Amino acid sequence: SDVEGSWARLSSFVERTPGLSFADGDRIEVAADVVFVMGGDAVDRGPASRRVLRALLDVKERQPDRVVLLAGNRDLNKLRLVRELEGSLPKKAPPEVRALLSSSRADVLRWIFAHTMGAQQAFDLRREELVTDGDRAEDDDVVDSFLQDLRPPSGLHFRYLQRCQLAFRHGATLFVHGGFADEALGHVPGQPPVGDVDDWVHGLNAFCAEQLARYAEQPGRVIVGGDDVEPQWLPLVLYQAPVKGLGRNPHSVVYGRFGSDPWNNPRLPSASSLRWLRERGVRRVVVGHTPCGDLPAFLKSAQGCEVVIADNSRGRVDVGLSLTITDDVVSVRARTLLDDGRDLDLAYVVAALDDGVTGRITADGHLVKAVVAGVVDDGAAGLLFRCDKGYVVRQTAHAQAGLGPLRAPVDVDGAAS
pLDDT of residue 25: 94
SS3 129: helix
SS3 292: coil
**Nearest-5° angle of CA 413, CA 400, CA 265?**
25
State residue 327 phi and psi, 5-degree precision.
-60, -30
Among 261, 228, 226, 255, smallest CA distance to 243 is for 255
Percent of the chain that is helix, strand, coil (3-state, to 5): 30, 25, 45
Q: Is 195 exposed, middle or buried (0-12, 13-18, 19+ CB in 10 A)?
A: exposed
pLDDT of residue 414: 67
Contact 399, 379 (CB under 8 A): yes
Residue 59 DSSP class: H
Q: In whole angstroms, what is the distance from residue 325 CA to residue 2 CA?
A: 18
The CA dihedral of 132, 134, 137, 141, to the nearest 10 degrees, is: -120
Enumerate the domain spans of the chain: 7-239, 271-407
Residue 291 Cα distances to 252, 265, 360, angstroms: 18, 10, 18
Quick one: how far is CA 159 from the chain centroid? 19
pLDDT of residue 247: 84
Instruction: Please give the order of strands across the beta sheet that includes 381-388.
Output: 392-399, 381-388, 367-372, 361-362, 406-407
Contact 330, 18 (CB under 8 A): no
SS3 6: coil
Q: In whole angstroms, what is the distance from residue 234 CA to residue 222 CA?
A: 13
297-300 and 306-311 as β-strands: parallel, antiparallel, unpaired? Answer: antiparallel
pLDDT of residue 175: 98
Residue 12 Cα distances to 177, 233, 315, 346, angstroms: 21, 35, 14, 14
Q: If you write DSSP's letter for every residue of 142-156 in order, what string do you get? A: HHHHHHHHHSTTT-H
pLDDT in single tens digits along all 417 residues of the chain: 999 999 999 999 999 999 999 999 999 999 999 999 999 999 999 999 999 999 999 999 999 999 999 999 999 999 999 999 999 999 999 999 999 999 999 999 999 999 999 999 999 999 999 999 999 999 999 999 999 999 999 999 999 999 999 999 999 999 999 999 999 999 999 999 999 999 999 999 999 999 999 999 999 999 998 889 999 999 999 999 999 888 889 999 999 988 887 777 888 999 999 999 999 999 999 999 988 899 999 998 887 899 999 998 888 999 999 999 999 999 999 999 999 999 999 999 999 877 788 999 999 999 999 999 889 877 789 999 988 877 788 999 999 989 999 988 887 776 666
pTM of the predicted model over 0.85: yes
Q: Is 341 exposed, middle or buried (0-12, 13-18, 19+ CB in 10 A)?
A: exposed
Among 131, 154, 164, 161, smallest CA distance to 48 is for 131
Q: Which residues fall within 8 angstroms of residue 238, CB to CB, at 6 or more apart? A: none
pLDDT of residue 16: 95
Give 167's Cβ-side CA count (13 Å radius): 28
